[in-house]
């Protein structure tokens, strides 16, 4: 790793650590053990989401060679919203599927992963598949789901809508121990799975033809990477709600900061940035806005502004 | 040896290649020639496995191309297309190092580093090794890609219009380099060429395509005649000889 | 050739659309309408049909232009932050002018979305971007900043559901006196057609455009402004309709290529007749009630597009 990247990475690491400490210990009063446990779980959930979103968006963009796509174009976020809306609409918010966090998590996760496999199965029956068609199909399904949910959301009783609205924005407040445990296991497994394919990622940046020329089993690789991406996105979304825009932001800031194609720099960089964004953002939501806004508001505002600042700064320099 | 049997390719309902049988001579430069849309690039794409074919087979060293493992094949055959769209920002050295990927899978050994250095030297790219590709001229970029192919160190090298966007001097240098690769290192090179005279001066063997079929093939000597070229290009061409090399004049 | 089929189809569907509805106005009465029937046609049916055609054609064209300008098939007309700016405008209209008429509120929102687009273009001019991907990228980031502001206030004031309902595509609310803003788009169609070739050229990149004697920045700005004006007048009068901007241009491009002069009319006609057909069906299926257009387009569109894509995929690649 070049020296400049080393320094940047260390700075990011230090900043991330600082945010975590701030998050854990700021104005900790009363019972330490209780507060630490509560905050610890939340922090772990944030870390897990940060890893899942950063890694999945990065490899998705590497695969599609497109800097503005996030895995949400595969329709997973919309499926999540549709499922939650359907539950509230048909069986009400008191049903265990909605009210019990563990059951809701498992059901959501299974549904999302099952959907991705169905989609890939539909396409990968053929030997070679164009990613372009896959993305178009994902968008079509996504729009369908999204419409279904917006339609039902209009009909839902306003009180029940508040429950749905709660699901519309990412939130770390409802995560509990068992759910976190399950999510961690799934995430770790998918990371191990990714490790096997990791060496091909840099080559993919050269484009499909070059990758094939250099002996990358492109179509097989694409299939496996897509599966990994869907599992990661499903875990993060089922855990805390839709957060994929974070991925777009973080990954683009990472490209801008590090200016490299090497995934062994990009991936840790993106993970650290997304930890900073989420932990710091969550801290602001809780301590400064006292829950009067949502995490996405803060991240999108600060992150978006920072990204544009980076671009303008680069153009001047 | 590279051999094709009865290759067919269709786009929509239009046949672009029809029953192509071809044996590419070893350790020679073979040029695919023909007018636009004759199927040259498509044939090259199929032989290099970048394009799928509807029928027929491609044999690389007597084994069907589909039977080859991607990694093994990438040590045997290299392909360079005419427009390399790349989103990544990398230096010349980075690009050439990628040529060693089939061997090292990304973690370069001492041997790999040597090959990269050799390839850079061979193409005269040492002063530029730390430069970013997007800051180079078209000719320099093309040389960097060729250096990558050299580092990849394959028996077969396939090039799709390697002279595109090169000026006269760069084009001549490129062809001389390719010639040396064949004469000094015993590579087999197949290329798609638009300029018939470059093909005549540097290629050993020519394959003329028209409307998706091979209409003429043979040594350069045999193909560079008015009659054969008329079959390929559908126009009358005069052949002259200067310094033992045949040129075809088509400008007026 | 195919253009004529589409023209005839659009005309037939438009005629049908005028004569389908709860109040019976048979086609046979067309030449001797009663006063009441004339009123129905002029107050409701005619505005509705016109707005469907404009919305269908307009959104599809906007998508096509955006995709050409950015050389990216996954860009939709709302990528330039137009939708986000319009949402902010709706929020401001609801909060600041609660008593105003609908048309006034629309105008407020329209001003916002146009202003948003101009800020966006200013932003682009300050950034030295290397390739066209930066247009949608900056648009997305810019949109996310605006949308975080909107969400911040909407969340505090419980207006999320309200704003979403406003922007949900719905033609039944299109009546005389609240749809006239759509006529702004008609001259825009013409300009779009005149500039079609230039957009194609600009899409090839800055050097290519300059080589042909075009002012790159100006053409991009014209394109974005066209798209912003059309998009905001459509989403504010009838709401957002899924698919049109993204999928319709893609389908047309798969079947007819990318020459804008040629595909622009095809895209417009296909978009218009598709929305007309969906709307007519939506009015007939549960007669005398009707199904909202976004749901119809969502469901029928998804079905048709999935079939088209899968069938097409068999031949392609």
pLDDT value at A14 more than 90: yes
- B85 close contact with C: CB closer than 8 A: no
Residues in chain A closer than 8 A to C73 (CB atoms): 132
**Number of domains, chain B:** 1
pLDDT value at A197 more than 50: yes
Grade residue B192 by pLDDT with cuts at 50, 70 and 90. very high
Residues in chain C closer than 8 A to B12 (CB atoms): 315
- B12 close contact with C: CB closer than 8 A: yes
Residue B216, helix vs strand vs coil: strand
Residues in chain A closer than 8 A to B81 (CB atoms): 209
User: Using one digit for the tens of pLDDT, what is the confidence trace for B7-18?
Assistant: 888 877 788 888
Selecting from C126, C160, C306 the residue whose C-beta is nearest the C-beta of A137 gives C306
Domains and CATH numbers, chain A: 34-243 (1.10.3470.10)
For residue B28, tell me if it sits in a domain: yes
**Which of A123-127, A276-280, B52-56, B199-203 has the lowest average pLDDT?**
A123-127
Selecting from A67, A140, A150 the residue whose C-beta is nearest the C-beta of C306 gives A140
Residue B13 belongs to domain spanning: 1-68+156-164+192-252
Residue C144 belongs to domain spanning: 2-315
User: Using one digit for the tens of pLDDT, what is the confidence trace for B136-160?
Assistant: 887 888 888 889 999 999 999 999 9
A214, A266, A267: best to mutate for the B interface, most B CBs within 10 A? A214
**H or E element: which one contains B247?**
strand B245-249
- So what's the pLDDT on residue C317? 39
Beta carbons of C152 and A248 less than 8 Å apart: no
For residue B176, tell me if it sits in a domain: no
CA-based nearest distance A274→chain C, Å: 16
CATH of the domain at B19: 3.40.50.300
C-beta neighbour count of C128 within 10 angstroms? 12
pLDDT value at C316 more than 70: no
Distance CA A146, CA A161 (A): 15
CB contact at 8 A, C88 and C150: yes
Encoding tokens for residue B148? 């990558």
Chain A, residues 74-113, CB within 8 A of chain C, namely: none
- So what's the pLDDT on residue B88? 66
**Mean predicted confidence (pLDDT) in B162-170:** 83
Mean pLDDT of chain C: 83
For residue B137, tell me if it sits in a domain: no
Selecting from B79, B88, B90 the residue whose C-beta is nearest the C-beta of A213 gives B79
Encoding tokens for residue B92? 């010349």
User: Using one digit for the tens of pLDDT, what is the confidence trace for B92-130?
Assistant: 998 899 889 888 887 888 989 999 999 999 888 889 888
Chain C, residues 96-135, CB within 8 A of chain A, namely: 123, 126-129, 133-134
User: Using one digit for the tens of pLDDT, what is the confidence trace for C61-105?
Assistant: 999 988 888 777 878 887 778 888 988 999 999 888 888 888 888
Tally C-beta pairs within 8 A across A and B.
67
Chain A, residues 285-314, CB within 8 A of chain C, namely: 292-294, 296-301, 303-305, 307-308, 311-312, 314
Q: Which residue of A has its CA nearest to C137?
A: A68
Distance CA A52, CA A191 (A): 9
- B52 close contact with C: CB closer than 8 A: yes
Distance CA C297, CA C289 (A): 17
pLDDT value at C314 more than 60: no
Beta carbons of A151 and C294 less than 8 Å apart: yes
Beta carbons of A297 and C294 less than 8 Å apart: no
**Number of domains, chain C:** 1
Distance CA B60, CA C73 (A): 37
pLDDT value at C1 more than 60: no
Residues in chain B closer than 8 A to A127 (CB atoms): 52
With pLDDT > 90 as the criterion, what percentage of chain A qualifies?
28
- B54 close contact with C: CB closer than 8 A: no
CB contact at 8 A, B59 and B2: yes
For residue B116, tell me if it sits in a domain: no
User: Using one digit for the tens of pLDDT, what is the confidence trace for C122-146?
Assistant: 888 787 766 667 788 888 888 888 9
Residue C151, C-beta contacts closer than 8 angstroms, at least 6 positions apart = A293, A294, A296, A297, C160
Residue with tokens 């409802």: A174
- So what's the pLDDT on residue C155? 85
Distance CA C82, CA C146 (A): 10
User: Using one digit for the tens of pLDDT, what is the confidence trace for A27-63?
Assistant: 877 778 888 888 899 999 999 999 999 999 999 999 8
CA-based nearest distance B149→chain A, Å: 9
Beta carbons of A214 and B101 less than 8 Å apart: yes
User: Using one digit for the tens of pLDDT, what is the confidence trace for A140-187?
Assistant: 888 888 878 877 887 788 888 888 887 777 778 778 888 999 999 999
C76, C292, C302, C315: best to mutate for the A interface, most A CBs within 10 A? C302
Beta carbons of A154 and C164 less than 8 Å apart: yes
- C194 close contact with B: CB closer than 8 A: no
């Amino acid at each position: 790793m070049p020296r400049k990247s080393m320094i940047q990475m260390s700075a990011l690491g230090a900043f991330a650590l600082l945010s975590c400490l701030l998050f854990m210990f700021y104005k900790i009063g009363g019972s330490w053990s209780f507060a630490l446990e509560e905050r610890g779980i939340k922090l772990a959930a944030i870390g897990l989401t940060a890893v899942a979103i950063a890694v999945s968006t990065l490899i998705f963009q590497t695969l599609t060679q497109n800097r503005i796509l996030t895995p949400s174009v595969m329709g997973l976020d919309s499926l999540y919203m549709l499922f939650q809306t359907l539950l509230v609409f048909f069986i009400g918010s008191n049903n265990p599927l909605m009210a019990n966090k563990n059951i809701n998590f498992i059901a959501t996760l299974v549904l999302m992963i099952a959907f991705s496999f169905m989609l890939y199965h539909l396409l990968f029956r053929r030997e070679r598949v164009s990613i372009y068609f896959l993305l178009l199909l994902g968008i079509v399904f996504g729009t369908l789901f999204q419409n279904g949910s917006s339609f039902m959301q209009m009909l839902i009783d306003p009180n029940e809508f508040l429950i749905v609205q709660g699901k519309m924005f990412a939130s770390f407040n409802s995560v509990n121990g068992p759910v976190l445990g399950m999510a961690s296991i799934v995430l770790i497994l998918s990371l191990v799975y990714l490790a096997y394919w990791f060496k091909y990622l840099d080559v993919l940046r050269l484009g499909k033809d070059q990758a094939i020329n250099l002996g990358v089993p492109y179509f097989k690789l694409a299939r496996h990477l897509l599966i990994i991406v869907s599992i990661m996105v499903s875990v993060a979304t089922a855990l805390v709600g839709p957060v994929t825009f974070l991925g777009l932001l973080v990954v683009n800031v990472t490209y801008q900061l590090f200016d490299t194609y090497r995934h062994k720099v990009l991936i840790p960089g993106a993970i650290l940035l997304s930890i900073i964004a989420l932990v710091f953002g969550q801290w602001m939501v809780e301590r400064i806005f006292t829950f009067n806004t949502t995490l996405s508001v803060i991240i999108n505002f600060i992150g978006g502004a920072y990204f544009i600042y980076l671009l303008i700064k680069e153009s001047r320099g | 040896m590279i051999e094709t049997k009865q290759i067919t390719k269709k786009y929509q309902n239009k046949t672009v290649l029809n029953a192509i049988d071809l044996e590419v001579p070893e350790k020679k430069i073979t040029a695919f020639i023909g007018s636009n849309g004759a199927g040259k690039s498509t044939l090259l794409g199929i032989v290099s496995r970048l394009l799928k074919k509807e029928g027929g087979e491609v044999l690389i060293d007597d084994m069907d191309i589909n039977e080859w493992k991607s990694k093994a094949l990438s040590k045997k055959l290299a392909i360079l297309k005419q427009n390399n769209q790349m989103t990544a920002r990398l230096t010349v050295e980075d690009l050439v190092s990628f040529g060693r990927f089939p061997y090292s899978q990304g973690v370069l050994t001492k041997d790999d580093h040597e090959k990269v250095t050799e390839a850079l030297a061979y193409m005269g790219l040492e002063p530029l090794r730390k430069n970013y590709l997007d800051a180079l001229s078209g000719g320099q970029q093309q040389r960097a890609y060729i250096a990558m192919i050299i580092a990849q160190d394959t028996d077969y090298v396939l090039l799709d219009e390697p002279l595109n966007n090169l000026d006269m001097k760069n084009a001549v240098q490129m062809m001389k380099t390719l010639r040396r690769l064949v004469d000094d290192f015993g590579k087999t090179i197949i290329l798609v060429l638009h300029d018939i005279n470059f093909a005549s001066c540097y290629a050993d063997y020519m394959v003329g395509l028209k409307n998706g079929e091979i209409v003429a093939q043979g040594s350069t000597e045999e193909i560079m005649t008015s009659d054969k070229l008329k079959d390929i290009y559908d126009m009358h061409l005069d052949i002259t000889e200067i310094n033992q090399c045949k040129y075809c004049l088509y400008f007026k | 050739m195919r253009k004529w089929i589409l023209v005839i189809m659009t005309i037939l569907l438009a005629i049908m659309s005028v004569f389908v509805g709860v109040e019976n106005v048979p086609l046979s009465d067309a030449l001797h309408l009663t006063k009441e029937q004339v009123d129905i046609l002029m107050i409701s049916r005619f505005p509705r049909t016109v707005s469907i055609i404009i919305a269908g054609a307009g959104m599809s064209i906007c998508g096509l232009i955006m995709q050409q300008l950015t050389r990216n098939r996954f860009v939709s007309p709302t990528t330039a932050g137009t939708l986000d700016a319009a949402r902010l405008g709706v929020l401001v209209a609801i909060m600041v002018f609660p008593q105003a008429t609908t048309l006034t509120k629309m105008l407020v929102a329209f001003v916002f979305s146009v202003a948003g687009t101009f800020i966006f273009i200013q932003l682009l001019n300050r950034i030295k971007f290397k390739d066209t991907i930066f247009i949608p990228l900056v648009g997305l980031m810019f949109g996310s900043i605006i949308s975080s502001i909107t969400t911040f206030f909407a969340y505090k004031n419980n207006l999320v559901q309200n704003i979403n309902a406003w922007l949900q595509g719905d033609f039944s609310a299109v009546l005389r006196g609240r749809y006239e803003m759509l006529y702004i788009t008609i001259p825009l169609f013409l300009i779009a057609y005149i500039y079609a070739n230039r957009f194609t050229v600009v899409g090839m990149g800055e050097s290519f455009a300059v080589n042909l004697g075009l002012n790159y920045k100006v053409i991009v700005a014209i394109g974005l402004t066209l798209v912003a004006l059309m998009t905001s007048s459509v989403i504010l009068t009838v709401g957002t309709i899924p698919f049109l901007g993204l999928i319709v241009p893609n389908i047309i491009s798969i079947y007819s290529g990318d020459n804008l002069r040629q595909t622009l009319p095809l895209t417009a006609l296909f978009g218009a007749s598709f929305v007309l057909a969906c709307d007519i069906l939506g009015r007939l299926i549960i007669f005398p009630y009707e199904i909202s257009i976004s749901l119809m387009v969502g469901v029928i569109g998804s079905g048709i597009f999935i079939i088209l894509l899968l069938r097409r995929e068999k031949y392609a690649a």
